[in-house]
Amino acid sequence: MNLAIKDIQHSLGRFALTALGIGMLLMVVMGMGGIYRGIEKDATLLIDRLGADLWVVQRDTRGPFAEVSRVPANLIHRMLAVPGVKSAREFVYHTVQREHQGKLFRMAILGLSWPEDNGAWLPLTSGRPLGASHYEMIADKSLGLGLGQRVRLGKETYTVVGITTSMMGSSGDGLGFFTVADSQAIQFNTSNEAIRLERAARLARGERSELGTNQPSLLEQAIKPAYELPSTAKPQISAVIVHLSPGADAQRVVEIVSGWRDVTIYTQQGQETLLLRGTVEKVRKQIGLFRVLLTVIAGIVMALILYTLTLDKIHSIALLKLIGAPDRMILGLIMQQALFLGTLGYAVAYILGRKIFPMFPRRVILTNEDLFMLGWIVLGISVASSFLGIWKATQVSPNEAVA
């Protein structure tokens, strides 16, 4: 005899709705863990895919993903002179938010060190890697851009030549891949009026200076574009990513670069740790608290449901006691009901989650470890919530069967 089976036979609709409600509650608990796993994966995705041994960033900063980092472009040549360094590449990373075709358009931009890096390492689903130093881009499919589509960013228009998948920035925005020169042009884009005003201000400062008075011909330089001025440095990059030669001592390279006063160096593991302890840490704590709260609520709801189902069977339980059924048999029936309800709810949560989670704006990753742990939690909730029904069953008198 099984109370759960009897409930299905006699009140299929009520039991199905009960299991569906518990399943949806457990699906939210399951989804909370999946959202955290997705955030963690997105935060470290680029670091893992790029596979750099070392990251060189601005002094006393935590790298281009945690905060703003600015280093000179010629840092690459300094790194190449360090013993043990095989290659060093520019790294430019920033986020833009524009309006495209009347809709909000947000994209994380990664600059590829052209021509050494044309994006061939990306998981392309269609199209090709970058084939020119300007005006081409590779877009993640989450951006909603099609192959061959043209996107205006700053003063230039870029053509989508490749589509990739599951390439997200640390904030969950889809990635767009450009050459370093194009990504810097987008990052440091200035309106025409602002450029005109800056040139006029340079000219005015030159006219007021003694050098401008003594050598008027120098004032002609003030109205030229900034990149033509010999005293103007090239645009800065976010970081330098370094690959070491086989067998090179990474710790020795770190010690050498750590002596430089203008930069800070991190290993790949160190950069990931900074991200997870910084950007992701508060999210992890918040989601963890929500998971605990929802788990407690699920336990309370299941306990109340089992208590209500037990109340509906007071007469049947009293009749069992009247005919001499042992208490352990009655308590076992209630425990079976709780386990069946928990198992069915978990199954509903898993099936619905697999269908619904892919529709979420951010990735939801369900790992076997999390699913296994949630299964044990559901088992514990089922056993604990049955105690209220068991307590009520023990209070039932056999005389109620003939009342």
Asked if residue 7 belongs to a domain, the reply is yes
Domain assignment present for 86: yes
Would residue 271 count as lying in a domain?
no
Residues 352 and 320 in one domain: yes
Q: Indicate whether 362 belongs to any domain.
A: yes
Position 173 scores a pLDDT of 83
Q: What's the first-to-final CA gap in the chain, in angstroms?
A: 24
**Inside any domain, residue 360:** yes
* Residues 112, 200 within the same domain: no
Domain carrying residue 246: 72-184+238-261
253 plus 109 within the same structural domain: yes
- Same structural domain for residues 390 and 253? no
Are residues 251 and 144 located together in one domain of the fold? Answer: yes
pLDDT tens-digit series, residues 355-402: 998 888 778 888 888 889 888 888 888 787 777 666 766 666 665 555
| Cα separation, 208 vs 205, whole angstroms | 5
For the CA atoms of 318, 322, 323, 329, what is the dihedral angle to 10 degrees? Answer: 50
- Same domain? 242 vs 305: no
The whole-number pLDDT of residue 162 equals 93
Let me know whether 215 and 362 are in one domain.
Answer: no
- 173 and 249 housed in the same domain: yes
Does the residue 47 lie in any domain?
Answer: no
Q: What is the pLDDT of residue 161?
A: 94
pLDDT reported for residue 232: 60
Do 316 and 361 share a domain, yes or no? yes
The per-residue pLDDT of the chain, averaged, comes to: 80
Q: Residue 216 falls within a domain, yes or no?
A: yes
Residue 144 is predicted with a pLDDT of 85
Q: In the prediction, which pLDDT does 195 show?
A: 67
Residues 129 and 225 in one domain: no
Instruction: With a cut of 50, list the residues of the chain below it in pLDDT.
Output: 1
Do both 204 and 145 map to the same domain?
no
Whether residues 294 and 391 share a domain: the answer is yes
- Measuring CA to CA, which residue among 205, 263, 221 is closest to residue 58? 263
Q: pLDDT, tens digit, for every residue of 73-96? A: 888 989 998 999 998 888 888 888
Within a domain: residue 350? yes
Number of compact structural domains in the chain: 3
Q: Which pLDDT belongs to residue 193? A: 77
Provide the pLDDT for residue 7. 59
What pLDDT does 171 receive?
74
| H runs (alpha helix) in 217-259 | 219-222, 250-258
The pTM is what? 0.72
CA–CA gap between residue 54 and residue 280 (Å, rounded): 21
